[in-house]
């Protein structure tokens, strides 16, 4: 018992998602008017936003770019000391980029890349959001009033990144950042890691790595926003449909994560999930659930299949032929 490895608890949670879009104005319309998020600040080519239930100054950053895809993903540490410890470890692993002075609403942060090349940072100092009078809620424990605009997502939840080598990236996330693996899809008798869903806390997963079927680097499958109940996901589907947003899949229920999902493409081309359900994990020694080809099925619990695009389209999109070594990779379904 003395050899039990204590969990690494230095990183607290997903702090901010940055999303790149070639159509900033239309993407802004999607997140603000259809998803109901709030704009907190604008600087240069970036718009800083948050959902009504996010307590931090900003949790989502929309940045104009030539291609859609993920921007810099920010993880908040448990304390300044925890931040220092993590930075040292990342530097030692040779993946660090360096300290930056801070961003709107936040203190200094340390940039790095995961093995697949996704851009990330770690930080601790962060402003709490203070609602202006017009957005103050009648609920004292709500950072901002419920505006009832559009789908009104509550908070950022997670993201799913593509990786050429899922295992390598998962191990990085576990060893350097403290992620615990909730669920895995392993094909070929456990030899091919198709996807891993991981968390820093009790939320089911805050990050997933899924196989990049086109053998590219630094891409994203989707970003996900939480909404409090499934009825609101159904309502969100109506809102998206009324606004001619392409709904790729759902609302339906995944087997992996048990989540109730709705995937659409924001106007910039990124896949965005509106998400509810799933489950809380409290056990520090939760046993990773693994699914093989047969158990995984289509990934839809109630039957039916996810569309081809769900398995093949990621951002930035790549048209190049798949590299030979990836040609036989089986299709898979990221949650």
Closer of 54 and 212 to a second copy (Cβ): 54
- Least Cβ distance, residue 87 to a second copy (angstroms): 14
| Torsion angle, alpha carbons of 174, 204, 160, 68, to 10 | -130
- Least Cβ distance, residue 224 to a second copy (angstroms): 14
- Residue located via tokens 């940072």: 121
Closer of 261 and 316 to a second copy (Cβ): 261
- Least Cβ distance, residue 293 to a second copy (angstroms): 13
Residue 73, SS3? Answer: strand
- Helix or strand (DSSP H, E) at 264: strand 259-265
- Helix or strand (DSSP H, E) at 296: helix 293-296
Closer of 212 and 248 to a second copy (Cβ): 248
Task: Give CA–CA dist 209/220, Å, rounded.
Answer: 9
Closer of 150 and 269 to a second copy (Cβ): 150
Closer of 258 and 317 to a second copy (Cβ): 258
**Phi, psi (rounded to 5 degrees) for 156:** -70, 150
Note whether 257 and 278 are within 8 A (CB): yes
Q: Is the peptide bond before 29 cis (omega within 30 degrees of 0)?
A: no
Closer of 20 and 239 to a second copy (Cβ): 239
236 alpha-carbon distance from chain centroid: 19
Closer of 164 and 199 to a second copy (Cβ): 199
DSSP per-residue string spanning 168-193? HHHHHIIIII--EEEEEEEETTTTEE
Task: Give CA–CA dist 63/102, Å, rounded.
Answer: 17
Task: Give CA–CA dist 71/69, Å, rounded.
Answer: 7
- Least Cβ distance, residue 153 to a second copy (angstroms): 13
- Least Cβ distance, residue 225 to a second copy (angstroms): 13
Which pair of structure tokens corresponds to residue 303? 């039957």
- Least Cβ distance, residue 180 to a second copy (angstroms): 11
- Least Cβ distance, residue 132 to a second copy (angstroms): 15
């Amino acid at each position: 018992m003395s050899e039990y490895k204590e969990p690494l608890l230095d990183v607290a949670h997903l702090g901010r998602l940055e999303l790149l879009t070639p159509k900033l104005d239309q993407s802004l319309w999607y997140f603000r008017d259809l998803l109901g998020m709030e704009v907190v600040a604008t600087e240069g080519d970036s718009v800083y936003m948050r959902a009504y239930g996010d307590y931090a100054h900003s949790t989502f950053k929309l940045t104009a770019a030539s291609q859609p895809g993920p921007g810099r993903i920010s993880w908040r540490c448990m304390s300044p000391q925890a931040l220092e410890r993590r930075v040292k470890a990342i530097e030692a692993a040779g993946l660090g980029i360096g300290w930056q002075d801070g961003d709107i609403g936040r203190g200094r942060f340390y940039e790095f890349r995961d093995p697949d090349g996704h851009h990330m940072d770690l930080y601790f100092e962060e402003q709490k959001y203070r609602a202006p009078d017009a957005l103050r809620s009648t609920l004292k424990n709500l950072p901002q009033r419920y505006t009832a605009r559009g789908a009104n997502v509550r908070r950022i939840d997670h993201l799913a990144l593509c990786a050429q080598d899922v295992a390598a990236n998962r191990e990085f996330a576990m060893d350097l950042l403290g992620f615990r693996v909730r669920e895995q899809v392993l094909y070929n008798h456990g030899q091919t890691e198709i996807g891993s869903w991981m968390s820093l806390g009790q939320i089911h997963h805050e990050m997933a790595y899924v196989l990049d079927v086109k053998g590219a680097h630094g891409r994203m499958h989707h970003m996900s926003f939480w909404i409090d109940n499934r009825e609101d996901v159904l309502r969100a589907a109506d809102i998206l449909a009324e606004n001619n947003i392409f709904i790729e899949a759902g609302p339906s229920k995944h087997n992996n994560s048990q989540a109730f999902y709705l995937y659409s493409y924001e106007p910039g081309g990124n896949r965005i999930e509106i998400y509810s359900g799933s489950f809380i994990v409290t056990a520090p020694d939760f046993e990773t659930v693994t699914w093989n080809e047969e158990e995984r099925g289509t990934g839809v619990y109630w039957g039916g299949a996810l569309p081809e695009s769900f398995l093949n389209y990621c951002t930035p999109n790549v048209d190049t032929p798949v590299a030979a070594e990836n040609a036989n990779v089986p299709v898979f379904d990221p949650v």
